[in-house]
Amino acid sequence: MQLALSTWPEVERYLQASTGIIIPIGSTEQHGPNGLIGTDAICPLKIASEIERQVEQADADVLIAPSINYGMSQHHMAFTGTVTLRPTTLIQVAMDVVTSLAQHGFTHFYFLNGHGGNIPPVTAAFSELYAQQTGNKLRCRLANWWRNDAVTKLAAELYGEAEGHHATVSEVALSYYAHPEAVKDVPLSPEIAPTAEFYDATDFRQKFPDGRIGSSPQLATVEAGERFCKLAAEALGEDYRRFLDA
Ligand code: NI
């Protein structure tokens, strides 16, 4: 069940059965020469809709909120097309979304995340929310799909070191599965991108001139993307159900 495609009486009825909600969150940032700028939002959205499909097959219901498509992407700003929220803005966005839904009776907020840069601000938002709440009702979880054990295992099996750290093969594959019409065929050189520590956006571009870190995303296929999506949906769907008991 999608919040955006529901009516308020339907949401009221849903709340009688469950007070949990999944909130996909990503970013709008460069993902190398063949990765889509929307990758980090496209992946959790696709996983969330697969969780929804699996849950509905079991004759149950789950509610998916509209995705938060902008994230904290300051370090990608030297690449055209990237849009960033400041960390403080993202903290406020996450807090306002949770506070609004909590006012209607939601208690369990499962942020299905596609972007590493969101982790510090979103977890800071959780701490602010816990500090503000009266009572002990709120439960917030940030689930980073690409860090799931089943996902990292499959990525290691398929790509080894070439999976990389940004514009990874698995995320590009998953985005291609979600949008096969947007698959890009672009030669990449070097085959595997460099890896290093980085500081600001200018430093990032100097060290990783085409935007990739350590990855070889020309290996990405729609077929592998489907495997990542199904695997992540099974694992995170299970994780969400456990979280509802917290
Ligand atoms: Ni990404």
Per-residue confidence band for 205, with pLDDT thresholds at 50, 70 and 90: very high
At residue 189, φ and ψ (nearest 5 deg) are -140, 130
On the question of pLDDT at 20 being above 90, the answer is: yes
- Average pLDDT over the chain reads 97
Per-residue confidence band for 59, with pLDDT thresholds at 50, 70 and 90: confident
Question: Average pLDDT for residues 211-216, to the nearest whole number?
Answer: 98
132 Cα: distance to centroid of ligand 1 (angstroms):
31
209 Cα: distance to centroid of ligand 1 (angstroms):
16
Ion ligand 1 — residues with CB < 5 Å: 39-40, 171
Spatial CA neighbour of 164 closest among 194, 185, 143: 194
Residues 30 and 36: their CA atoms lie apart, in Å, by 7
Question: Average pLDDT for residues 30-58, to the nearest whole number?
Answer: 97
65 Cα: distance to centroid of ligand 1 (angstroms):
20
16 Cα: distance to centroid of ligand 1 (angstroms):
36
On the question of pLDDT at 195 being above 90, the answer is: yes
99 Cα: distance to centroid of ligand 1 (angstroms):
27
Residue 113, strand partner residues: 25, 144
Question: Average pLDDT for residues 33-60, to the nearest whole number?
Answer: 96
Dihedral sign of CA atoms 242, 228, 81, 196 in order: positive
Question: Average pLDDT for residues 233-238, to the nearest whole number?
Answer: 98
**What is the DSSP track for 25-62?**
E--B--BTTTB-TTHHHHHHHHHHHHHHHHHHHTT---
Question: Average pLDDT for residues 174-193, to the nearest whole number?
Answer: 97
Taking only the tens place, the pLDDT of each residue in 113-125 is 999 999 999 999 9
Question: Average pLDDT for residues 132-156, to the nearest whole number?
Answer: 96
Taking only the tens place, the pLDDT of each residue in 77-109 is 999 999 999 999 999 999 999 999 999 999 999
On the question of pLDDT at 58 being above 90, the answer is: no
222 Cα: distance to centroid of ligand 1 (angstroms):
17
13 Cα: distance to centroid of ligand 1 (angstroms):
36
39 Cα: distance to centroid of ligand 1 (angstroms):
6
**What is the DSSP track for 217-229?**
GGG--HHHHHHHH
Per-residue confidence band for 60, with pLDDT thresholds at 50, 70 and 90: confident
Residues 6+ apart with CB under 8 A from 144: 113, 114, 116, 119
188 Cα: distance to centroid of ligand 1 (angstroms):
17
Residues above pLDDT 90, as percent of the chain: 97
State residue 97's pLDDT score. 98
Residues 6+ apart with CB under 8 A from 52: 1, 2, 62, 64
Tokens linked to 37: 């700028």
On the question of pLDDT at 148 being above 90, the answer is: yes
75 Cα: distance to centroid of ligand 1 (angstroms):
12
Question: Average pLDDT for residues 127-155, to the nearest whole number?
Answer: 96
Q: Which CATH superfamily hosts domain 3-243?
A: Creatininase (3.40.50.10310)
Residue 245's Cβ-count burial label (10 Å; 0-12, 13-18, 19+) is exposed
**What is the DSSP track for 120-176?**
HHHHHHHHHHHHH-SSS--EEEEEEGGGSHHHHHHHHHHHGGGG-SBS-HHHHHHHH
At residue 6, φ and ψ (nearest 5 deg) are -110, 165
On the question of pLDDT at 140 being above 90, the answer is: yes
17 Cα: distance to centroid of ligand 1 (angstroms):
34
Per-residue confidence band for 51, with pLDDT thresholds at 50, 70 and 90: very high
pTM above 0.95, yes or no: yes
State the greatest distance between any 2 C-alpha atoms of the chain, in Å, as a whole number: 56
